[in-house]
Structure 1
Amino acid sequence: MKRLLIPLAAAGLSAATLAFPATAAPDWVTDNLQPKPADAYGAAYFWLDSNGAALRKATQYHWDAKEVPKLVASQSQGAPDGKPGMTAPTGTPKPGATKNVNLPKTIGKVFFLDKAGQYRWCSATAIQSRHRNLVATAGHCVYQNGKDDVYDKWVFVPGYYQGRAPWGIYAGAYAFTAYDLDTYDDYDGDFAFVAVHNGFTLAGEKEVSHKEFKAWAGDKWVKPREINAAEFLKCQINLGECWSEGEDKPADLVGPDYPGAVLEKVEVSKEAYDAAKVGKGQGNKFGEPVVEQVTKEQLDAYKGPGVKGTDALGNHTITHYYTQKWVKPGTSRKYYEAHYFIGFAKDMGRLGDVVGGQGVAWNQPMGQKVTAFGYPADPHPDGDKPFSGVTPKWCSGKTGTKTYQVNTFKVETHQVLKCSMTGGADGGPWLMRYDNGKRTGYVNGVTSMFHDQDGNQRIDFISSAYFDGEVAAVYNKAQYAETKKIVGPNGELLK
């Protein structure tokens, strides 16, 4: 990073009470996402409603750049700005031996509305923190490009798969990133740490009385049920909540060319049918006569205008004749009664208690072996689309031994990894010292950009901000952000 750090604020301050001297700007910034439980619940419910319809509708975040940016080797052999450091991971899975790469329980997707109102997602991971409530992702997956602002309805879903949130949904409360990214779109600071509220899941609905409905502090709604006129009268007598819509109006005879005219058929006698004209018009013939096969009992019981008949074999028939009737449809009054429902939610607890948290490392030597995870979905520049974005993928290898520049994004010190993951993997963690049995490691980067270095129209490198002392300062500041439960023990919305 290019700037020196200011001293960390005293421990125990929350994200909402940080203050700075008037003459100095901090090298980190914090912004509110949804700090209030009601706003956090609304954001999470937006994504979970209708069985996760909005989650399934979302598409991966896309760069604003029209071309794949090129990496330019810098003269630096490394970018540490202080002593190396790290904080240890916490995990929930038990150690196990396998030759395959086990996917961390901590990884998932962040969902948000971009500045155009489109439903978007990026990759992310839960990380270890003081309050077990932090998510690490790319800064451009939290902060709107070109604006000092954050995305709307930001949530994290660990273990996301096809509209399902197996370990709950966690609404963002406070976001932390580098000042240079937030202010100047400098991708040397393309990382963010987000403090999230306790997760929750939707746990069904229940029909209740109007009194219970009014007293309920959580999600609630009214469902109208159609009733008949007698039920409507009874509802009014009992002072229930009921209403009517529309009016009773009979159908009117009109010409066939009248706007909205509807054709009906009217059964008539054979004589009337024979006298009717052929063609389109009021009272004209409606198709050919229809012969209906019936039983002897049905034939004897029939009293309509059709012609009865019995042939030599004893087959009984009724021949029906129809003429046209063109009408403007009538209307009828409809009656409704209110039914009251409340929605329940279940508190899942703190993010780190549910899925664990990866460690964080900074000022590490270049050339580290890392395993990068993410949900790639974009096609390669040549149009080939090997990834769906539905399931997480990974790359493993050593990072470059020197940092790189990306001139179009003001980058001077990105670290790189040879990898073919494409867009959608943005924000996914680079885990150093990854323990395949415990599924934990140390986040030493997050995917920021994708590159085609050999010019064959295929992504062959990904890059990340170098995690140095500035990253550590932002991370340490984020650790002091306290968040809340959103729902209570009975599924009610907390204040």
Structure 2
Amino acid sequence: MRRAVEADTPADAKASRKAAVDAAAKPSQLANPQKATTSKKARGIRIATSIVQGKVFFHNPTNGGDYACSAAAVNNPTKNMVFTAGHCVHGGAGGTWATNWVFVPAYYNGSRPYGTWSAKTLTSFNGWINSSDLNYDIGVANVWDNGSSKLVNTVGGMGLGYNYGYVNTVTVWGYPAAFGYDGEVPYVCQNIGTWQDGSRVQNGCTMVEGASGGPWLRDYNETTGLGTEIGVTSTRTDPPAYIDSPYFDNKIQTIYDNTANG
């Protein structure tokens, strides 16, 4: 099942290069971080990593290619939500929905210590699906249970927030797979600042292709591997110097409400 979500933002948001934060828009927390409730030892993990983040694999029916992205589990009532970039679930204007979509938490050099979780539904905004508008380059997967286990109960789930403004300190996870990276291990840019880039948010992390969809986390806790997700890696500059995310505003409430019980 695939779903398009309308957003409560102007249809011409793509053309807007300046977007002021509404003074009345207060930071909102849709979901609080949750630790895993089941115990499972991970094998093959050789670096300190958050087991809540991971790698995405999918097939693009439009060009027949197989691709990879990054993502993170997010806490929700049905304990099965994954946040990523919109282009990691749908090809945008002229494209179609990804197939064979799976999320592998804590993927490391071929190891899948917490299993492979297949998408039940994929969701993005009409702004991305119809227009490839980067302000809506956000995707959500609701995954099937793995046997009797639920994703968030198994690895934990990030919190989810919006309207936190453009200036924050975040930790970014991802699986870059170009410019000397091979996509086989996770990398992290820790405690870096963000700023406004037109209508989007930017930071100085130099991750590249493969890192798309990786979480931008406020209040990241190294011990638990949890934080509050307020962005996803969407695009990079050329040459690699900065990465951008859509600004997480009220549209995040919209997509969460449409997928929270999926």
Same-fold call, TM > 0.5? yes
Corresponding residue number in structure 1 for 2:207: 421
Q: Distance in 2 between matches of 1:128 and 1:364?
A: 19
What residue in structure 2 maps to residue 444 of structure 1?
230
Matches within 5 A, 1:74-89: 74-78=17-21, 82-86=25-29, 87-89=31-33
Q: SS at 1:157's partner residue?
A: strand
Residue 160 of structure 1 deviates from its aligned partner by: 1.4
Match of residue 186 from structure 1: 133
Report the equivalent of 1:393: 187
Counterpart residue number, 1:377: 177
State which of 91, 95, 98 in structure 1 corresponds to 2:35.
91
**Preserved CA contact (<8 Å) 2:108 2:186:** no
Residues 79 and 466 in structure 1, CA contact (< 8 A), matched pair in contact too: no
Segments of structure 2 that go 5 or more residues without pairing to the other structure are 8-15, 40-46
Deviations 1:420-445 (A, max 9, x none): 11111000000111111221100100
Provide the rounded CA distance (Å) in 1 between the counterparts of 2:78 and 2:52. 16
**Which residue number in structure 2 is paired with residue 350 of structure 1?**
150
User: Which 5+ residue runs of structure 1 have no aligned equivalent?
Assistant: 1-14, 19-24, 29-72, 95-100, 200-346, 380-384, 405-412, 453-457, 482-495
Partner of 1:140: 87
Q: How many residues align?
A: 244
* CA gap 1:120/1:88 in 2 versus in 1, 3 angstroms: same
Q: Is the 8 A contact 1:79 1:468 kept in 2?
A: no
Partners in 1 of 2:117 and 2:94 — Cα distance? 25
Please identify runs of 4+ aligned residues in structure 1 that moved more than 2 A. Answer: 73-83, 145-149, 161-164
For 2:97 and 2:109, locate their aligned partners in 1 and report how far apart those are by CA, in whole Å: 25
Q: Write the distance in 1 (CA, Å) between the matches of 2:22 and 2:149.
A: 38
SS state at 1:399 partner? strand
What does residue 10 of structure 2 align with?
A: none
The amino acid across from 1:394 in the alignment is V
CA–CA separation in structure 1 for the residues paired with 2:48 and 2:201: 24
Offset of residue 178 of structure 1? 1.4
Contact 1:80 1:364 (C-alpha < 8 Å) held by counterparts: no
- For 1:105, the equivalent position in structure 2 comes to 51
SS at match of 1:129: coil
Counterpart CA distance in 1 for 2:153 and 2:72 is: 14
Report how far residue 353 of structure 1 moved.
Answer: 0.7
Aligned with residue 123 of structure 1, among 52, 70, 78: 70
Tell me if structure 2 keeps the 8 A contact 1:188–1:466: yes
Distance of aligned partners of 1:160 and 1:436 in 2 relative to their CA distance in 1, 3 Å threshold:
same
CA distance in 2, matches of 1:355, 1:150: 26
Seen in structure 2, the aligned counterparts of structure 1 residues 146 and 390 have a Cα distance that, compared at 3 Å, is same
Structure-2 change in CA distance of 1:156 and 1:80 (3 Å): farther
> For 1:26 and 1:155, how far apart are their aligned partners in 2?
21
Contact 2:92–2:130 (8 Å) recurs in 1? no
Structure 1 residue 399, shift from structure 2 partner? 0.6
Residue 161 of structure 1: CA displacement? 2.3
CA distance in 2, matches of 1:473, 1:349: 27
3-state SS in 2 of match to 1:349: coil
Greater Cα radius of gyration, structure 1 or 2: 1
2:234 is paired with a residue whose SS is strand
Partners of 2:197 and 2:260 lie apart in 1 by 28
1:388, distance to aligned residue in structure 2 (A): 2.0
Q: State the alpha-carbon separation in 1 of the partners of residues 119 and 5 from structure 2.
A: 22
- Deviations along 1:328-351, one digit per CA (max 9) or x if unpaired, are xxxxxxxxxxxxxxxxxxx25100
Residue of structure 2 equivalent to 1:466:
247
CA distance in 2, matches of 1:358, 1:418: 22
Distance in 1, matches of 2:148 and 2:6, equals: 34
Structure 1 or 2: more helix by fraction:
1
Identity rate, percent:
30
Residues 26 and 140 of structure 1: CA distance in aligned 2, closer, same or farther (over 3 Å): closer
8 Å Cα contact 2:5-2:123 kept in structure 1? no
CA 1:82–1:179: 2 relative to 1, 3 Å: farther
2:22, 2:108 → 1: CA distance? 37
- Partner amino acid for 2:77? R
* 79 and 399 in structure 1: CA distance in 2 versus 1, 3 angstrom threshold: farther
Tell me how far apart the structure 1 counterparts of residues 64 and 102 of structure 2 sit (CA, whole Å): 15
Aligned to 2:6: 27
- Residues 348 and 111 of structure 1, relative CA distance in 2, 3 Å threshold: farther
Judge which range, 422-431 or 153-162, deviates more: 153-162
Structure 1 position 102, deviation (Å) = 4.1
